[in-house]
C-alpha cells in the first residue's frame, strides 16, 4: 500500500513538472510568434503569418475601394495557415493530448522550415522580390498553422501561441472587476507580454535584415523541440 502511494505521488509530481515545462515551452513559442508577425507585417507587406485575426480584418477592409490594402499576401497566409493546421491536426489525431514523438517531429519540421526560409531571405536581400515574398508568406503561414495545431494538442490552458484576444478576455472577465476571485494571472500576463516583446524584437531585427527575425524564431522553435523531446515522459 505504501509503495503504491509513493508511486502515485511520484507520478503526480512528474506530471506537474512536465506541465510546468510545457507551459514554459509554449510561452517561448508565443514569443517567437510575435517575432514572426512583426517580420510579416513590416517586412512582407502587412501580412500576419501567426495571428490570423489581423488578416481577416485586412481582407474585410480591402473590399472597400480606395483602401489600397494588400489582398494576395493576407489571403495566401490565411489559406496556408489553415492547411498547415489541418496537416498538424491530422498527424496528431491518433495520439493522446500531450507531448509525443509526433509533436517533436512537427515542431522540428516547423523550426527547420523557418531556418530554410531565413536563409532564403538572407540570400534574397533586405527587400525580396514579390514572388519571393509571397512564397515566404505562404510557407510561414503553413508552418505557423502546423505549430498552432501542435500547441493546441498539448492542451496547455490559455496558451495557444497564436491567439491573444481570448487571453485578454479571460484576463478581464476573470479579474476581481469581473466578479472572479482568482485566475491564472502569470500565464495570461506572460503570454501578452511575450508576444508583444517578440513583436518588438522582430521589429528591431528588421533594422538589420528581414531574415534575422525568422532565423531567431527558428532557433527558438528548434530549442523548444529539443527540450520537449528530452523531457517527454511516456504515459502510464
- Dump pLDDT digits (tens) for 156-209: 876 777 777 777 777 777 766 666 666 667 778 888 899 999 999 999 999 999
Return the sign of the alpha-carbon dihedral for residues 19, 25, 55, 165: positive
Residue listed under C-alpha cell 505521488: 9
Cα(30)–Cα(161) distance, rounded to whole angstroms? 4
DSSP letter, residue 192: H
CA proximity to 202, closest of 23, 143, 194? 194
Query: 2-230 — its CATH code?
Result: 1.20.1250
- What is the C-alpha separation between 97 and 49, in angstroms, rounded? 25
Domain ranges of the chain: 2-230
Which grid cell sits at 82? 489553415
The answer to whether the predicted template modeling score (pTM) of the entire model surpasses 0.75 is: yes
188 contacts: CB under 8 Å, gap ≥ 6: 158, 167, 170, 171
Residues 76-109 have pLDDT tens digits of 999 999 999 999 999 999 988 888 999 999 999 9
Amino acid at each position: 500500500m505504501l509503495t503504491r502511494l509513493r508511486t502515485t505521488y511520484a507520478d503526480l509530481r512528474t506530471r506537474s513538472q512536465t506541465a510546468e515545462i510545457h507551459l514554459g515551452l509554449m510561452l517561448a513559442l508565443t514569443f517567437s510568434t510575435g517575432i514572426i508577425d512583426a517580420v510579416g507585417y513590416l517586412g512582407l507587406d502587412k501580412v500576419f503569418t501567426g495571428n490570423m485575426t489581423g488578416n481577416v480584418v485586412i481582407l474585410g477592409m480591402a473590399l472597400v475601394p480606395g483602401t489600397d490594402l494588400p489582398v494576395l499576401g493576407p489571403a495566401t497566409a490565411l489559406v496556408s495557415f489553415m492547411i498547415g493546421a489541418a496537416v498538424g491536426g491530422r498527424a496528431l489525431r491518433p495520439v493522446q493530448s500531450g507531448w509525443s514523438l509526433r509533436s517533436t517531429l512537427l515542431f522540428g519540421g516547423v523550426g527547420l522550415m523557418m531556418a530554410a526560409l531565413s536563409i532564403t531571405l538572407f540570400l534574397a536581400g533586405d527587400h525580396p522580390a514579390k514572388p519571393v515574398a509571397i512564397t515566404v508568406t505562404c510557407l510561414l503561414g503553413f508552418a505557423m498553422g502546423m505549430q498552432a495545431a501542435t500547441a493546441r494538442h498539448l492542451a496547455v490552458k490559455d496558451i495557444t501561441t497564436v491567439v491573444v484576444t481570448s487571453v485578454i478576455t479571460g484576463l478581464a472577465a476573470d479579474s476581481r472587476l469581473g466578479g472572479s476571485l482568482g485566475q491564472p494571472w502569470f500565464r495570461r500576463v506572460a503570454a501578452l507580454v511575450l508576444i508583444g516583446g517578440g513583436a518588438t524584437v522582430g521589429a528591431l531585427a528588421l533594422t538589420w535584415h528581414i531574415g534575422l527575425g525568422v532565423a531567431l524564431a527558428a532557433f527558438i522553435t528548434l530549442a523548444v523541440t529539443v527540450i520537449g523531446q528530452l523531457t517527454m515522459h511516456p504515459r502510464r
